[in-house]
Each structure stands twice: as C-alpha cells, then as structure tokens.
Amino acid sequence: MTISLPSFHNGEPISLASVPLLSIREFREEIIAAAGAGATLTALFGTPAESGRVRLFSVLGDPVAGGLAALSAEVDDAYPCLTVECPQAHWFEREIAEQWRIEPQGHPWLKPIRFQAPYRPPGRTWARLPGVTDFFAVRGPEVHEVAVGPVHAGIIEPGHFRFQCHGERVFHLEISLGYQHRGIEPALVGGPGKRTIHMIETLSGDTSIGHATAYCEAMEGLGGVAVPARAQALRAVALELERLANHTGDLAALAGDVGYLPTAAYCGRIRGDFLNLTAAICGSRFGRGMVRPGGVLFDVDPRLAADLTRRLDNALKDLEDAGRLMWDAPSVQARFQDTGAITAETCAALGLVGPAARACGVERDIRQDFPSGFFRFAQIPISRWSTGDVFARAWVRWLEIQRSGVFVREQLASLPHGAIQTPVGAPRPDHLVVVLTEGWRGAIAHVAITDPNGRFARYKVIDPSFRNWIGLAIAMREQQISDFPLCNKSFNLSYCGHDL
Amino acid sequence: MPSLFFTRLRQGQRTLPFPDAGPDLPERFRGLPIIDQSLCPSGCDACVEACPTDAIASDDSLAIDLGRCLFCSECSNACPQGAIQFSRQYQLAASRRADLVLKTGQSLQLAHRLADDLHRILGRSLKLRQVSAGGCNGCEADINVLNTVVFDLGRFGIQFVASPRHADGLLVTGPVTRNMSLALEKTYAAVPHPKIVIAVGACAIAGGPFREHPEVLNGAGAILAVDLFIPGCPPHPITILDGLLRLIGKIASPAAAHGEAP
C-alpha cells in the first residue's frame, strides 16, 4: 500500500473522521495495490456527501492479518473504473452506477443489476423494466439463444438467465436479476427502528441467523457493549444449525438433479430435522426471533441441550448413511466430477466466497480469517477441496456438515454460564462499523454508518450471493446446457439477498 | 445395491400421519395469538407501538390482523400484563381477508371448502404453479418441504407443476415487488379457467416486513383476487398443508364461535 491505512477489527467501530478521504486517483491506487497484494474487496459503495457529490467508501480485508481498512473518495458523475484492474469490483461498480447515477468509465459490462430507482435524483439512468437490457449475444451458424425466467419451473425465486448456445454447448450465460428488489437499503436509513431487525431477518430468509448476527454485532459495536458469552455461544450454535440444514438441503437437491432419488429423499427429510432443532430453540424453523441486539431471546437449559444433542446425533447418523450412498454411486460421481469447474485463479480474481471458493482450494472463511463473537474462542477447521467443480462444491458442504455437527455437539455440552442478554446503548454518532460473518453461503458483510444523531446514514448489506452469481455464469462456460440445473444447485444462491 | 436396501430399512417410514393425528410441534412454537382483554390495562398501547408491521389496533378493544402479523412476539414481550399470548394453534388459514382481523373473544373463522362447482373440478386433483414475487425463500422453502416424504403432498392429490398452463391456480409468496408484478400477471393469465389464487405468508397477504415500501404492492391482493390466505412468517409447513386441505374439503372447518377463546 502506498499510504498506510489505519487497521481495525471485525465489529470494531471507528469514527467517520478517521476514514481517510482521498482523491479518486489515490483511492483507486490503494484498492488496486491492496487487491493485487491479496486483500479482499469487502465493500465498495456510495453514500451521499454534503457537497451534493457522492462519497465512495471502500473496505479492504487482509485475510492473513485479520485486519480491515476503510478509505473513501468523493466523486461527481463519473470516475475511471476499478474493474479492469481489480475484477473483484465489477458487481460493486455496476451497483454504484445504478444507485447513484455515476459512471465508472471503462467498465466492460455496465448494465443494471437490480432495475431499481436511483437514490440520487433526478430520474433514472436505465429503463426500469426488469430484464430489459442489451444482453451479450453470439451470432453465427447454429448459434442459438435460450431465455429462462423470471418464473422458473420449480418452487424457487425469480431471475432471468440468458444462454448463448452452440448445440448443447453453452458459450456464455448472462444472469439478470432484480425481480426480488424490495427497497431494503433505503428503508434502513434513519434507523434502527422497530422494523429493522425484521427486514434483516428476511432480506435473505434462509440466512436469518447469519444476517441477524451481523446486524446485532454492528449494533453492539456501535453501542459499545460486550455480549455475554452464553449468548455468543447460542448464536454460534444457531448459525451452525442454519449451515447444517441448508447444506443438507443442497445435497438433497444435487442428488435430485442427477436423478439419484434415495439421497434426495433422505436428505430432503433430514434437512427438516435440522430446521426443527432451530425451532426447538426459538420456535421458528428459520431462527426468526432468536438473535437480537444484546444477545439472544431464547435460552437452552440442560434438558433441552440433552434433547437437542440426541436429535442432532440421530440426524447426523441418518445423514451419514444417506450421503454415503451418493458418494459411493459411480453414476452420481460421473455427473458431479468435471462439471462446472472454476480455477482458483478465477475464483480469487472475482472474489468468490463461501463453499464455492473453498471448493476451488481458496482458503477463505470469515470464522477463521476475521473471527467475531464466539468464533474467537472456538474454532472450526476450514474445509477445502481443489477441483472447483460440482463435486467439490458438494464435497465441501459434506465436510462442513461433519465439522459443524461436532461444533454444535461440543458447544451444547459446555455452554458458558451467565445471562443471555445485556442492554445495548444508543449507537455512537458519526461512526462506521464493518461486521463480517460466515453465513452458510459465504461471507456476509454489513457496513453501518451513523449520522450526527446516531441514526443510520447508510446501512450496506452484502450478501454472499452478491459476489457469487458471476461464479455460476463463469462455471457454465463450455458446459452442456442440460447441466445448468446441476451447476445452479451447486451454488444455490439467493435472489432476494442479492436484490435487497 | 445391498447398502441401498439396508439404508432404506434404516431410514424407515417417515411420513406424518397428518391429518389423522395432530402434528408434533416444537414447545416454543408461536401459533394463533390470543388476546385476554381483561388483562389489557386501559391507556396502554405498548403492544401497538411494539408491533413492527402495525398489525395491532386498540380502538375500543384490541384486534390483531393475522395477515400482517409476523408471529415475532414483540407484542407479547412488550405487554406488562401478558394480555397477548401466542397459543399453539397452528390452524390459521382463512378464506376472506377480513376474517384474519381477530378481535377479542372471537375465534378465527378458518378457511372453508371451495364452492361446489370449483370443488367438483379441483377437489380431488389440484395442480398449483408457485410464484415467488419478492419472497425471502422462507415461505418458498417451507412450501417445498411439503414435497418431501415427511408431508408427502401428492397423497392428497395436490401437486406443484412447472407450467401455469398445467395449473389450476397460483400459490403466491412475497410482497409482490413492482419488478415482479408483470411476470405475476402474465403467469396468472396463462392459467386456464377456472383458477384460484392462494397467498402464503405475511408478505403475500399484506406486504410483511416490507409493507408500504414504494418498491412493493403490499401483497398478491393488489392485483389478483385471493381465495385462500395462509398467515405466518413463514407459516409452519403444517399450517400451509392444513390450509390447502381445508380448501379442498379434506379437513372440515366449523363455523367460528363468537364470545369464547379458541
């Protein structure tokens, strides 16, 4: 780095005044240099500046040292894009262009990502009809185009997929989203309010615990309180149960997509067993109402802990059986292996996260790199594989299931004593806090910026899907179009978490 | 192959006996909220203020709109007297939007069977096209789960189909975003007559946590006539199944009793 940036930790609030305000030239140089040296572009977004300009904020993460750095620059209507030199920025810059009507000049793929109204008046930058954009097209003999969605064949969220095919072979897939856009970010401004936590829990409703934990750690950082250890442990248990349920559901879906029905049927049921463990703790299968600023709302007494452990062991035993069938079936392996492969270099350049990144051999896990909450005291080993294909993405989930299972059992047997809640003070004014958690899909990033009254001037949510949709598009290149459902399930990304 | 066989034996028969036997719900399950007006201190609006979706009104007595309710328990936690409690009643589906506004001492009028002419056509074979229009994947996931061996939806003659042209109706989730409204309208238009619409979850009924955002239409009712409302955030799968079975007459709904708690 050319300028030394002050470093801070996951969840540690810093005063807004301490965030360097650089020229756009310095801002770009810093980000490009840091990304070139292995930093992750944790966040890049705009906020309104007093001058009527837009202040771009960037958060860089150093996964080796575990430190974060923030920097900013003010821009008018255009600036030279980062994407060409730092591909991790590509989706962030498209978002900035759409939200703030700023042109990242030279961006190779500048199109709307959500078809939303811009935050900065007046009017609009692009036509607002979702899915209406100039899709990349391939022309030539025997080249054809396949359009799918927004309404798909299953019980699944909406999105539009445009394939450029040569026979069965896919040259290129372009993914156009935004159908799920509910206007969450503008609704969070001026908060926190009584609806805030409910929007957070449902911004990607299968990741309620992951996002609620990130939000609560942000509030606790800004409020300057330490959460009781027992509450932190229960949050970690809930987070890993969320991972167990979703990973198991993904294995069921993958088995189903290659027509291997025994594992599909068993895992589909066992996923529900894990959801029911979460419901036994807090009454909701999706963990709604479990995590709140200051702690958790539901305790686990020794009787419940014993019951949960017994049921967890049964579910894991059934899962071991159901999974083994699939791993031992050559017909399944033939479909999984070498399908939809991504290289580690591509993965790192695009900034993919979660099991999709770990399946490429990239060692990236918030629980290890930037631990917060209970993961500072209890570690879960990182699960990796190296082939980057559908098999690797499935196998990493399988490994993570084993490790999360061990973790939950250990924590239930040794929950720290004490309270499960503590009062949280008002958020500090004019501060910025970055919180990272490892949701089941990968790194969740929340950035809260408070105004002089301690209200949210900006609350930025970055769901792992925001980073990983491009991974699916890249994985489909040179694949058979019939393998799209399989590749899609191997990522299983959130539409609403992306669209917000 | 032998391992397939033995695994099949070990995994066993897992389909719930519902509706012949009641479901096994978690102890902390939050079902139908019950208001005890006698415990409600006059002049206190703690529950009204705590509710994130303005589901509670306190004009002359308390009333809860189950269509807006997230079953989050902010109200019962806020009440100093415990005048609102969440019961374990999982049956929540209603045929009319107005039936979901639950006043003190009133039991919930559960959904009635389809009208005779529709029931004759759809009662034994109901094919539904699901459309998520801003849903968070909570409702979608707990609808999907009805297809697992645990609930085995197919045994009731209900099936989710891929094409609206093969469907008898739509099952809508999500607050209906402006970006999905055209797709929802087109999907509805593609369903042959006669057709029904089912709204599942607080979002599809009234906008849920996104109510009144300019980007959403506050639910399916804004553009479609809804025949069945299934409240919850998300509703438990058994609540959804119960609603569907009432609609096709496989569970009978008694007329609601007035003046006594359900």
Residue spans of the domains in chain B: they are 33-88, 116-247
pLDDT per residue over B225-259, tens digit each? 999 999 999 999 999 999 999 999 999 888 654 43
Indicate the range of A114-118, A180-184, A431-435, B256-260 predicted with least confidence. Answer: B256-260
pTM confidence score: 0.96
Best mutation target among B49, B137, B203 (most A Cβ atoms within 10 Å) is B137
Instruction: Give B130's contacts in chain A (Cβ within 8 Å).
Output: 154-155
CATH 1.10.3720.10 fits B33-88, yes or no: no
Q: How many Å lie between the alpha carbon of B95 and the closest alpha carbon of chain A?
A: 23
Q: What DSSP element (H or E) covers A433?
A: strand A431-439
Residue of A nearest to B72 (CA): A289
Confidence at residue B256, expressed as pLDDT on a 0 to 100 scale: 58
Tell me if B134 and A130 make a contact (CB, 8 A cut-off). Answer: no
| DSSP-assigned letter for residue A389 | S
The answer on pLDDT for A1 being more than 80 is no
Tokens read off for A309: 């452990």
The answer on pLDDT for A71 being more than 50 is yes
Tell me if A153 and B162 make a contact (CB, 8 A cut-off). Answer: yes
**B39 and B81 in contact (C-beta within 8 Å)?**
yes
Tell me if B11 and A180 make a contact (CB, 8 A cut-off). Answer: no
* SS3 (DSSP) at A148: strand
Chain B segment 153-212 residues within 8 A of A by beta carbon are 160, 162-164, 174-175, 177-180, 182-183, 187, 203, 208-210
Q: Find how far residue A193's CA is from the centre of its chain.
A: 24
C-alpha torsion sign, points B15, B18, B20, B26: positive
Q: Over chain A, what is the mean pLDDT?
A: 94
Q: What DSSP element (H or E) covers A434?
A: strand A431-439
Name the CATH topology of B116-247. Answer: Rossmann fold (3.40.50)
In chain A, what are the domains?
A: 7-105 (no CATH), 184-464 (1.10.645.10)
Tell me if A184 and B210 make a contact (CB, 8 A cut-off). Answer: yes
The answer on pLDDT for B11 being more than 90 is no
Tell me whether A281 touches chain B (CB under 8 Å): yes
The answer on pLDDT for B106 being more than 90 is no
pLDDT per residue over B69-80, tens digit each? 999 999 999 998
Q: How many Å lie between the alpha carbon of B150 and the closest alpha carbon of chain A?
A: 6
Chain B segment 46-65 residues within 8 A of A by beta carbon are 49-53
Integer-rounded Cα Rg, in Å, for chain A is 22
Averaged pLDDT, A33-52 = 92
pLDDT per residue over A22-32, tens digit each? 999 999 999 99
Tell me if A179 and B28 make a contact (CB, 8 A cut-off). Answer: no
Tokens read off for B134: 């801003």
Tell me whether A150 touches chain B (CB under 8 Å): yes
